């Protein structure tokens, strides 16, 4: 779970210290997405805007979840916090303050994971396309070579059985067959490569469009939630 992950990545924090009795000892601050604590790439509040987050409190028995509170409330509760601004949207960092130096872990939100997911999809599509091209080319070359060998063998047998056919004529026929086979192989390979490239481009364009739509929707939702949260905090104050 996320709580177990917190304890595992903060081995130097004394999570059972008596000093940790309220959620205000854990604050949310901007940071780098070094550690993905949430495999779903989501947080209870959505994104790193000023919306609701699950505030984690440290007690004498370890880390326990607290009720959802707004980020404004969380930062207000931590009055001595030096990091109340959010220049980096999309990343969350929680600081453990029980040492002179900060011990931090990071959590990716959905806004960070969306481009990573899109990039993964593109990589998979390109890899599959390359594998398909290689397999098709190998199969075509093998089939053409086998056919050419069979044709040459048949012509040699015919020359041996029917001595009236000139050996020079057989050589000419073999040369013609080889040239035709090479041309067929080149054409097939070019066609396969072009088709695969077109398919990959179409898939990449579709993925990019979907990602853009998702990002726009997420931004709209975040803005709406932020406005609601600000109104709630203002009303509470």
Residue 8 lies in a domain: yes
The region, left, alpha or beta by phi > 0 then psi within -120 to 50, assigned to residue 62 is: left
Write down the pLDDT at residue 120. Answer: 62
Write down the pLDDT at residue 234. Answer: 60
Q: How far apart are CA 160 and CA 181, in angstroms?
A: 24
Residue 48 lies in a domain: yes
Write down the pLDDT at residue 158. Answer: 73
Write down the pLDDT at residue 122. Answer: 67
Residue 44 lies in a domain: yes
- The number of domains in the chain is 2
Residues 153 and 67 in one domain: no
Residues 137 and 156 in one domain: yes
Q: What are phi and psi of 27, to 5 degrees?
A: -125, 160
Write down the pLDDT at residue 90. Answer: 33
Q: Which domain holds residue 71?
A: 2-108
Write down the pLDDT at residue 221. Answer: 86
Q: Which residues of the chain fall short of a pLDDT of 70? A: 1-122, 160, 162-167, 232-237
Among 77, 108, 139, where does a domain finish? 108
Among 108, 125, 146, where does a domain finish? 108
Residue 126 lies in a domain: yes
Write down the pLDDT at residue 10. Answer: 36
Q: How far apart are CA 24 and CA 22, in angstroms?
A: 5
Residues 97 and 9 in one domain: yes
Residue 74 lies in a domain: yes
CB 205 within 8 A of CB 125: no
Residue 27 lies in a domain: yes
Residue 221 lies in a domain: no
Write down the pLDDT at residue 132. Answer: 81
Q: What are phi and psi of 104, to 5 degrees?
A: -125, 150
């Amino acid at each position: 779970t996320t709580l177990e992950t917190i304890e595992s990545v903060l081995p130097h924090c004394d999570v059972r210290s008596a000093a940790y009795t309220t959620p205000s000892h854990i604050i949310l601050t901007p940071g780098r997405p070094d550690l993905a604590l949430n495999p779903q790439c989501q947080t209870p509040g959505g994104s790193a805007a000023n919306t609701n987050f699950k505030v984690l409190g440290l007690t004498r028995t370890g880390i326990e979840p607290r009720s959802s509170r707004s980020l404004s409330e969380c930062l207000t509760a931590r009055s001595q916090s030096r990091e109340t601004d959010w220049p980096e949207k999309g990343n969350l960092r929680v600081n453990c303050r029980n040492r002179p130096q900060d011990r931090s872990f990071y959590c990716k939100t959905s806004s960070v994971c969306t481009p990573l997911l899109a990039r993964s999809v593109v990589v998979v599509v390109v890899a599959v396309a390359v594998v398909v091209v290689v397999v098709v080319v190998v199969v075509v070359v093998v089939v053409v070579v086998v056919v050419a060998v069979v044709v040459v063998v048949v012509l040699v047998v015919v020359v041996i059985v029917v001595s009236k056919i000139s050996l020079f004529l057989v050589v000419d026929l073999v040369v013609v067959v080889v040239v035709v086979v090479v041309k067929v192989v080149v054409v097939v390979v070019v066609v396969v490569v072009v088709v695969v490239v077109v398919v990959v481009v179409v898939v990449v364009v579709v993925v990019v469009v979907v990602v853009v739509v998702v990002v726009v929707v997420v931004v709209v939702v975040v803005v709406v939630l932020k406005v609601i949260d600000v109104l709630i905090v203002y009303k509470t104050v």
